[in-house]
Structures are given as structure tokens and as C-alpha cells.
A and B are shown apart, each in its own frame.
Chain A
Amino acid sequence: ETGVTQSPTHLIKTRGQQVTLRCSSQSGHNTVSWYQQALGQGPQFIFQYYREEENGRGNFPPRFSGLQFPNYSSELNVNALELDDSALYLCASSVRLAGLTDTQYFGPGTRLTVL
């Protein structure tokens, strides 16, 4: 098991609501990446946070936003939920040194269901 934890484990929301997912990175890691994994698909990169700033973003609309805190933990916020947002949301932590990001270690994920 990695030292990456995510909460909650499962979440059910209705369309139009807002949701916040949380991630605690592995000790010593300073970078957090978020991915969305739809059923039967590979994970899709949402964005990455380093030094509390967004450092790269995938093809996701602005209603997907995030934060990174001084202790390197992170939140993913999704506004105006849509049915297609139903997925497993994965957080990955890593070390970034000299401008390069090392291996990403994943948490167990949060299963979001939008009704």
C-alpha cells in the first residue's frame, strides 16, 4: 500500500450539486495529480499541483478546480455536477525535483456517482 489516502471512499450526489474530494500525499512528496477513471476506461489526467499552484491541466472544463495546501495535501472540487462526472477519482502523489516529476503513487480513489 502507498501512503496516499483519499476521502471519502464513496459519494452519491445529484446533478447540479457541487462536490469536494480530498487527498493526503505520501510523506516526502510535494506534487499531487488528479485523474478521472470512467468505468472501463484508463485514467484521464485532470490537473497537477506543485507548490500550491496548478501545474498542467488536461482536457477538463473550469468547473473542475483544485487546491494544494502547505502540507501538500490537495482537494478536487467539481461544480455543477453532470451525469458523466460519475467515475473513480484518483489522486497520485510524487516528488518533483529539478523540474522533473518522479513516479506517481496512487491512492485508493473516491467513487463518485451522480444521479
Chain B
Amino acid sequence: AQSVAQPEDQVNVAEGNPLTVKCTYSVSGNPYLFWYVQYPNRGLQFLLKYITGDNLVKGSYGFEAEFNKSQTSFHLKKPSALVSDSALYFCAVRPGSGNTGKLIFGQGTTLQVKP
């Protein structure tokens, strides 16, 4: 079965420290990988994606993600966290096979950045 796992329900980080939000996946083919962020009572906001090429992908608001094919992981990172980064983060994968563009989401990780 195709799935995405975000092993941490919550990540707590002090402002100014680096942050990592973990994501692993299990899908067929060469997947497209995405990170979205959701603020309270809002829709999902696109942060970044990996399709092919350099394993380190840079996105919005200083976020980046590292694709690791052997570990089937796509961890989200930021060198210096801001209090305003506090939100719910979702990893999503689009399987490489088929053309529906269906996204499979993880359960989400709440990021808390404390001053």
C-alpha cells in the first residue's frame, strides 16, 4: 500500500535554532514529493517540491528539504526557526505511476517554535 509517514506528531524548537520535520514514504515508481503548511482555519499552502535533480530543494520562507532515495525520506529543514513558523506541516507524495496527480498526505506534524 502506498503511504506517507510523519513519525512525530509535534516538534518543539527554540527560536533561532535549526528545525527538522521528518517524512518517509512508500510509493511505486519515482514519486514527486511535496511539503505544505497549514495555519489554523486555513487551507494548505505550498512550500516546496522535489521532482528530479538536486537532492536539496529550496522553497518558500527559507525552508528546504532533502530527498534521500535510499532511505525513502524527504525531511523538511530550516537553519533558523521563527516563532511565525509555528503551524501544521504536511508531507505529500504523488506516485510516479498514473496520471491523476492524486496526492497522498501524511498525518501532519505540528511545529511549535518558542521565543
Which residues of A are at the interface with B, using a C-beta cutoff of 8 A? Answer: 2, 4, 6, 31, 33, 35, 40-45, 48, 55-56, 58, 90, 92, 94, 96, 99-101, 103-109, 111
State the B residues within 8 Å of A (CB): 4, 34, 36, 41-46, 49, 90, 92, 94, 98-108
Q: Are the C-beta atoms of B99 and A106 separated by less than 8 Å?
A: no
With a 10 A CB-CB cut-off, give which of B41, B44, B105 has the most chain A CB atoms: B44
- Pair B46/A105 contact, Cβ less than 8 Å: yes
Which residues of chain B are near A100, meaning CB under 8 Å? Answer: 99, 101
- Given contacts A103-B46, A105-B46, A106-B36, A43 and B101 within 8 Å (CB-CB): no
Which residues of B lie under 8 Å from residue A103 when comparing CB positions? 34, 46, 49
Q: Are A106 and B45 in contact (CB under 8 A)?
A: yes
User: What is the distance, in angstroms, from B63's C-beta to the closest C-beta of chain A?
Assistant: 15
Given contacts A106-B43, A107-B43, contact A48 B100 (CB under 8 A): yes
Q: Which residues of B contact A99 (CB under 8 A)?
A: 99
Q: Is B43's CB under 8 angstroms from A42's CB?
A: no
